[in-house]
């Protein structure tokens, strides 16, 4: 059996799980955290669209929304290495902080793009932390790296 590659990160945010969930499931939150150019729905089965420049569109189908606990997306359109991969955010509130376990699962192989995305998902989680703690994230349009 072939083991597919996964990206995993843990981020701890000084915010409630409800606030983190809001940031990850609404157009307002995701426009501060990931990209300003987006179409976001808040229901299972819907497809969220995220634009990164003129030629880079990512579509994520919402698989699970468990308020304050878990979010799962399935990539249905993007770079070919992403199509068919799953992204999850597991939230656990402890002593006024939310522990976010992030996973981008089922990569077919570890490539240069996988490594690039691993770095960028860490920056996404940093942007999420900034937004939840300070009110302003670092979406694609404001990044300088």
Instruction: Give pLDDT tens digits for 31-78.
Output: 999 999 999 999 999 999 999 988 899 999 999 999 999 999 999 999
**Is 1's pLDDT higher than 70?**
no
Rounded to a whole number of angstroms, the distance between the first and last alpha carbons of the chain is 38
* Residue 116: count of CB within 10 angstroms of its CB: 10
Report residue 144's pLDDT band, with 50, 70 and 90 as the boundaries.
confident
142/1 Cα distance (integer angstroms): 42
**Is 86's pLDDT higher than 80?**
yes
* Residue 142: count of CB within 10 angstroms of its CB: 11
In our burial notation (b when 16+ CB lie closer than 10 A, e otherwise), range 9-18 reads eebebebbbe
Q: Indicate the CATH number of 5-134 among 3.30.530.20, 3.40.1260.10, 3.40.190.10, 3.40.50.1100.
A: 3.30.530.20
Specify the pTM. Answer: 0.94
Write down the pLDDT at residue 55. 85
Residue labelled with tokens 């979406």: 139
């Amino acid at each position: 059996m072939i083991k597919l590659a996964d990206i995993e990160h843990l981020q701890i945010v000084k915010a409630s799980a409800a606030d983190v969930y809001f940031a990850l499931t609404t157009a307002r939150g995701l426009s501060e955290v990931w990209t300003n150019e987006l179409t976001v729905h808040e229901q299972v089965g819907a497809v969220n669209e995220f634009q990164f420049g003129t030629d880079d569109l990512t579509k994520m189908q919402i698989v699970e929304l468990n308020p304050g606990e878990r979010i799962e997306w399935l990539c249905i359109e993007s770079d070919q290495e992403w199509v068919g991969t799953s992204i999850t955010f597991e939230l656990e509130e402890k002593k006024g902080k939310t522990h976010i376990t992030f996973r981008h699962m089922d990569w077919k192989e570890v490539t240069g793009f996988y490594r690039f995305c691993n770095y960028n998902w860490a920056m996404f989680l940093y942007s999420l932390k900034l937004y939840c703690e300070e009110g302003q994230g670092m979406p694609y349009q404001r990044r300088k790296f």
